[in-house]
Structures are given as structure tokens and as C-alpha cells.
Structure 1
Amino acid sequence: MSCPIVVLISGSGSNLQALIDQSLQGKLDVEIKAVISNKADAFGLERAKKANIPNHALSHKEFESREAFDLALQELIDQYQPKLVVLAGFMRILTETFTQHYEGRMLNIHPSLLPKFKGLNTHQRAIDAQEAEHGVSVHFVSSELDAGAVILQASTPIAATDNADSLAQKVHALEHVIYPLAVKWFSEERLILQQGKALLDGETLEETGVRYHQGLN
């Protein structure tokens, strides 16, 4: 039975598209029950419509507080009874109440090799810090921003000619590989969160996560 998931987005939804594509190709046994965006003009909603996936725009600007928005978002998500909530470029800082409600069943993807460069503008920050490499991390969501248990990472060298845009393109390509893989692990009940640590097949993943290589499946 396919694993029911809900995907949250704020923008173009390229990671959403990667999940849709792998699902259609039979590589990922999930059912995307709904796509929800806090921005009505997010292109990811068009991707959902094209794939005949129920989709909703729920603007945070229509709520008096962060708590009120998160409560409404939680109620909308729970209508679909997902086993997993996937944050795919959802640009909102979530309240502790919300993150605790989905503890162990909400994933995020962050464009850095966590714990380095939490927050925004990660590509330029990696270049400014003269890092040799940059990358992306998939992690369980916790109440602290970009601080949940890391599941999987992928890296790319930073070339002398790279700027923030070119580095972002490299990282996006990695995102579209490792995010569906982490979702696949969860859907197969191989990936769990236990006592604040990510476990794959019963083995604790290191705090720095597992580096992606072609042999992973």
C-alpha cells in the first residue's frame, strides 16, 4: 500500500516534481495526497494541478499570528491523514507545537552540509567562507531551525568560477536525487526517528548524515 504524504511548498516546487516523477516511474511507492503552499502564485501548485493532485493555497498573511497559521495548516494537512509531511522549499519557520505534532514524520531538505550554514543564503555564505565543498542535507524537522537529525547528505566541489547561482544549480541537481531517496526509505519503514536520532534499518546514522553515493538504494 502506497505511503500517503503531503508536500508543503512556497516556490517553484522542483523537489515536488522529482517526487511526482519518481512516483510515476514506479521508483517511489507514495501517494501525494495534497500539495499545500503559503503562496498562491507558487509554481509548484501548477505542477500539482498538472499531476491531478489536490492543492491548496493557505496564505500566512491572512492570520494574526504564526500560531494561528500553523494551527490552520495542521488542520488542513490532517484532513489527508498523511504518514509523512515533506517540506519542499516551504519558507516558513514553524512553531514548536506544529513540529511536535509531526515529530518523526516530517522531513525537510536544506541547501547546505548541516550543521554548517543554517538559515538563508547558504550558497553565497559557503563561497564567502572559502569552503572546498558545498551540498545539501535531508533531515527530520525539529523545533530548532535546520537542527533536526540529519538523514542524508550529498556534496559537490566549489569551483573557483562558481557564484551563488551556479552553485545553487549544482545543489538542486543533488536535491532531486537524495530527497526522493530519503522519502523512499521512510515509505518502506526503513527510516525512523528514535530518541532524537535518525535510524536506517535499525542502525543509527551519524550526526553528519550519510553521504550519498551511487550504491545507495
Structure 2
Amino acid sequence: MRVAVLLSGRGSNFQAIHEAIARGELPAQIVCVISNRPDAAGLQRARDYGYAAHAIDHKLFASRAAHETEVLRVLDEARPDFIALAGYMRLLGAEFIARWRNRIVNIHPSLLPAFPGVDAQAQAVAYGVKVSGCTVHLVDEQLDAGPILVQRAVPVHEDDDASTLAARILSQEHAAYVEALRSLATRAWRVEGRRVVFS
């Protein structure tokens, strides 16, 4: 399975995917890494590992569509089977998503559909839930709403704040992302309505 990674920050989930491939736990190949932020630590990490790493700064484009056209051009050259969003802090346009329907994977630090959007961990603490976690899902046109691939639960402790909960969730994110990609690579699957059915 050929995977393109899109990231905007430190790329810890990208690191987890890279390490799982290196250990032989994920039958995949990272064919390119793209960031909308030239200074992203994850982009330098990708270069250090020898991956094709592309900085496509969204600030240099007149519109979201123009930026996504360039991202799509790079993806077309790399020919991935799936796109893994690993802390990519840009909403994708409808045309982009339609072109890669059911082939874009994202991870979110909550048990969706609870607490979509930014600051999910702070939302969970403020709401007073006893359990949170992470969700790996296919991307559709709605924010953090596509069909779910994998979820992992994490307890919320009485003394948690957003940062302590985020750290505990992050350790599960890495395993969940690898599990989801491995299932997509090795098992037959289909989307039925909102459900991803593996067989």
C-alpha cells in the first residue's frame, strides 16, 4: 500500500507510521510527505528519513483551490493508494475529497461524534466525560464526520486538564493509526452508509 502523508506540525503520527513500516508491522510504503508549513518539524523529519518531502505553503497561494491544485499535482506524481492526514491543519475542499473519496484517512483526539473540531481534549474535560479517546476515520465533506475505521478509549481522570488528557490520548493515537492503515492494506473492506465493514 502506497501512502502519502499530509502534516502541519511535529508529525508524531507520521513518525509512528514510519516506525511501524520499519518494524515490518505495516505493509506500506510512504511515497511522499507534504506540509502546508515549510517550518513544520515533521517535514524535516521526513527529509531526514529520505522521503520525498514537499513544502507547499498555503500562504503563497491566492485561494484554497489554488493551493489544493498544487497539492493534487504532487499527489498525482506520487500515486498513493491512500492519503494519511497526520496533524494536517487545513480543511480539504469538496473537490479534493471527491477526487480521493474513501482514500483519505484522518485521526481525531476524541471518540467521534463527540467533540469534533479544535481543542477536543479541552472540550472533553470541560464537559466532564469519564471516557475520551481517539478516532481514525475516512474523510468526507463534513468536519471530523467520515466513516469510522478504529476507535480507542482512554479514561479521563479527575485531575486531568487538556494537556494531560492529550498526552494520554496521543499514545493511543499512534497505535490506532497503524491499526487502521494495516486493516485497509490487508483486509477486504467496503463502506455501507456510515459504516466501514471489514471482512
TM tier relative to shorter chain = over 0.9
What is the aligned partner in structure 2 of residue 58 from structure 1? Answer: 56
Runs (5+) with no aligned partner, structure 2: none
Aligned-pair CA distance for 1:197: 3.0
Match among 121, 125, 128 for residue 126 of structure 2 = 128
Identify if the C-alpha distance between structure 1 residues 196 and 71 changes in structure 2 by more than 3 Å, giving closer, same or farther: farther
Matched, 1:117 2:123: no
- Counterpart amino acid of residue 69 in structure 2: L
- Counterpart amino acid of residue 92 in structure 2: L
Aligned-pair CA distance for 1:195: 4.7
Query: Partners of 2:139 and 2:159 in 1: how far apart?
Result: 34
What is the aligned partner in structure 1 of residue 172 from structure 2? Answer: 174
SS at match of 1:109: strand
Identify if the C-alpha distance between structure 1 residues 189 and 80 changes in structure 2 by more than 3 Å, giving closer, same or farther: farther
- Say which structure is richer in helix: 2
Runs (5+) with no aligned partner, structure 1: 202-217
Query: Partners of 1:63 and 1:75 in 2: how far apart?
Result: 14
SS at match of 1:100: helix
Query: Partners of 1:122 and 1:143 in 2: how far apart?
Result: 19
What is the aligned partner in structure 1 of residue 152 from structure 2? Answer: 154
TM-score, scaled relative to structure 2: 0.97
RMSD, aligned CA: 1.1
**Per-residue CA distance 1:9-57 (angstroms, 9 max, x = gap):** 0000000000000100001110100000000111111221121111010
Q: 1:38-117 maps to which residues of 2 (within 5 A)?
A: 38-117=36-115
Asked whether the equivalents of residues 104 and 192 of structure 1 are also in contact (C-alpha less than 8 Å), the reply is no
Query: Partners of 2:88 and 2:30 in 1: how far apart?
Result: 16
Identify if the C-alpha distance between structure 1 residues 33 and 117 changes in structure 2 by more than 3 Å, giving closer, same or farther: same
What is the aligned partner in structure 1 of residue 20 from structure 2? Answer: 22
Identify if the C-alpha distance between structure 1 residues 88 and 191 changes in structure 2 by more than 3 Å, giving closer, same or farther: farther
SS at match of 1:146: coil
TM-score, scaled relative to structure 1: 0.89
Asked whether the equivalents of residues 140 and 193 of structure 1 are also in contact (C-alpha less than 8 Å), the reply is no
Asked whether the equivalents of residues 150 and 198 of structure 1 are also in contact (C-alpha less than 8 Å), the reply is yes
SS at match of 1:139: strand
Aligned-pair CA distance for 1:190: 2.9
Query: Partners of 2:103 and 2:93 in 1: how far apart?
Result: 16
Query: Partners of 1:82 and 1:123 in 2: how far apart?
Result: 31
Query: Partners of 2:59 and 2:129 in 1: how far apart?
Result: 37
SS at match of 1:79: helix
- Counterpart amino acid of residue 162 in structure 2: A
Match among 2, 6, 9 for residue 4 of structure 2 = 6
